[in-house]
Amino acid sequence: MSHTMGYKVALSFEDGVTRFVTANPGETVADASYKARINIPLDCRDGACGTCKAFCESGSYDGGDYIEEALTDDEAEAGFCLPCQMVPETDLVLRIAGTAEMAKSGIGAFTARIDHLHWYADNTAGLTLTLENRQDLHFLPGQYMNVKVPGTEEERSYSFSSGPDQDQLAFLVRTAPDGVMTTYLKERASEGDTLELEGPIGSFFLRDVKRPVLMLAGGTGIAPQLAMLEKIAQAAESGAQPAFPIHMAYGVTWDKDLVEVDALGRYAERIEGFTFDTIVADPASEHPKKGYVTQHLAPGHLNDGDVDVYLCGPPAMVDAVRKHFDGEGITPSNFYYERFAVGVPHERALHPAGAA
């Protein structure tokens, strides 16, 4: 194909579907997909969030501008790329993190009412919302929404802790000193308030359980994994118990950060082969398991690498776990992770999800 006609980009989705888009000279893969009405996973469109991360199977491209948090040098070296930034220099084949089904639905804008605001301790809030047009929101367990902070122009991302088939939506919010959402929740929020949300977004979501699963959660990083467990539990109750064991290691800093441990106990009853450990880092804690999640993994949990790992938590924890795996020479069959970045680059607020 001649340069002036643009390059053909094959988008290969996880469910085996392949769609083709044409990128004009200088055009990003995300823009070409948008024109073709294919919603590949996107959030910031700015090379900041990493949500669009894909894998290039063949072809060459200019990777564009992005920050290390979105794509590390190692990842870029290995062939990972950011469709919101990359400009093709030849025809390309990209593996997209998502299903073609999901790419059809796209990001929507929603309005919700706060039904319940619950403080587990002074630093973690549980929000339960009733969404208008609930039937129009289809999400995958593990995905997130961008929530506009009432009374401000800011938005913050929160992963569903409720399952995709539950009527109400639930979220867990860890507070940050003087944070915008934190201040709203602590000082102004009340039950009955209206929230505006956009989504669903994200390529961190539960795949079919085809081998043992290891879930690693740090702090409110437990939220998307609760959504995944709910989905697995509902499938189990309709007769499809997972064929492989699922283990979770849930680590927090302080005793008071441990939330929804009762819910994990109930999942252990509903899901055959589901086990979990809770771990507290605070040296002064009397919790039976202390330190970091990586110190409490048995060889069986890693299964010589034949394991699908789901990792979610604050960026420092996510990076530490990835380094630990590299250091131990463990390469899981699949490694999915989400970093709960706080104090995100300012640009992100200027390019809300779904903006064309």
Residue numbers of the site for ligand FAD (CB under 6 A)? Answer: 144, 156-159, 171-174, 176-182, 220, 223, 338, 340-343
82 contacts which partner out of ligand FAD, ligand FES, none, CB within 5 to 8 A by kind?
Answer: ligand FES
177 contacts which partner out of ligand FAD, ligand FES, none, CB within 5 to 8 A by kind?
Answer: ligand FAD
Looking at beta carbons only, is 34 or 171 nearer to ligand FAD? 171
Q: Determine the Cα–Cα distance for residues 166 and 158; give it in Å rounded to an integer.
A: 17
> C-alpha distances in angstroms, 7 versus 60, 64, 89, 100?
11, 17, 7, 21
Q: Least distance (Å) from ligand FES to the CB of residue 336?
A: 16
Q: Determine the Cα–Cα distance for residues 52 and 40; give it in Å rounded to an integer.
A: 7
Instruction: Please report, as ranges, the residues that interact with ligand FES according to CB under 6 A.
Output: 42-52, 70, 82, 84
Residues in the chain: 356
Three-state SS for 197?
Answer: strand
44 contacts which partner out of ligand FAD, ligand FES, none, CB within 5 to 8 A by kind?
Answer: ligand FES
Q: Determine the Cα–Cα distance for residues 156 and 197; give it in Å rounded to an integer.
A: 9
301 contacts which partner out of ligand FES, ligand FAD, none, CB within 5 to 8 A by kind?
Answer: none
Looking at beta carbons only, is 28 or 220 nearer to ligand FAD? 220
Q: Least distance (Å) from ligand FES to the CB of residue 343?
A: 16
Q: Least distance (Å) from ligand FAD to the CB of residue 343?
A: 3
Looking at beta carbons only, is 81 or 172 nearer to ligand FAD? 172
Position with the least CB separation from ligand FAD: 179
Looking at beta carbons only, is 9 or 311 nearer to ligand FAD? 311
Give ∠ CA 198-235-38 in degrees, rounded to 5.
35
Q: Least distance (Å) from ligand FAD to the CB of residue 90?
A: 32
Q: Least distance (Å) from ligand FES to the CB of residue 53?
A: 7
With beta carbons less than 8 A apart as the criterion, state whether 225 and 276 touch.
no
Q: Give the DSSP letter string of 229-292.
A: HHHHHHHHHTT---SS-EEEEEEESSGGG---HHHHHHHHHHSTTEEEEEEE--TT---SSBS-
Three-state SS for 327?
Answer: helix
User: What order do you get walking across the sheet with 334-339 strand by strand?
Assistant: 274-280, 246-252, 213-218, 308-313, 334-339
47 contacts which partner out of ligand FAD, ligand FES, none, CB within 5 to 8 A by kind?
Answer: ligand FES
Sheet strands (E) in 162-245: 169-174, 194-201, 213-218
Q: Least distance (Å) from ligand FES to the CB of residue 31?
A: 12
Looking at beta carbons only, is 281 or 353 nearer to ligand FAD? 353
Q: Least distance (Å) from ligand FES to the CB of residue 347?
A: 10
Looking at beta carbons only, is 81 or 280 nearer to ligand FES? 81
Contacts of residue 110, defined as CB under 8 A and 6 or more positions apart, other chains included, come to 131, 132, 133, 136, 137, 145, 196, 197, 198, 199
Looking at beta carbons only, is 66 or 274 nearer to ligand FES? 66
45 contacts which partner out of ligand FAD, ligand FES, none, CB within 5 to 8 A by kind?
Answer: ligand FES
